[in-house]
Homo-oligomer: A and B are copies of this chain.
């Protein structure tokens, strides 16, 4: 009996839509950034977190918690960001193993320019397609799919 706990047709369809639409949207947003000569989305995610963190910066492991990047990906992404002068690594941690990552002025500027393009993509791809109520419905329903499930 191999057919145990198989998903309902509604679940399969919702899953399929989620997979396909998310890929399409990412592709489009990525394309818009590239067309503007800007870095990829991954960079934005990290720069966004660091910009919100302010002057205090963040430890790399905090970035792995807030984003969904693997530890080694954060490590390498930060190396690239540093090489581009968008972040700086501060050795001054009270933990000898760690470091604090702080966004630079250039990093903030890059993030701002990325947002001009990224934000427009979001507005066009999502904001223009559904009403505010519908968007809130989507957010609420997707929120219940989060792992671990959280309120809000």
Contact = CB atoms under 8 A, between A and B. Distances in A.
B139 A8 contact: no
B28 A147 contact: yes
A35 B122 CA distance: 35
A146 interface: yes
A138 B18 contact: yes
A138 B142 contact: yes
- Chain A's interface size range is 35 or more
A31 B13 CA distance: 21
Contacts of A55: none
A147 to B, nearest CB: 5
A83 interface: no
Given A10-B135, A20-B146, 6 more contacts: A14-B135, A15-B122, A24-B68, A27-B68, A137-B137, A138-B142
Contacts of A28: 147
A145 B147 CA distance: 23
B22 A135 contact: no
Interface string A1-25: 0101111101111110111111111
A123 interface: yes
Contacts of A106: none
A13 B149 contact: no
Interface stretch (A56-64, A72-80, A89-97, A125-133): A125-133
Contacts of A22: 18-19, 22
Nearest to A23: B68
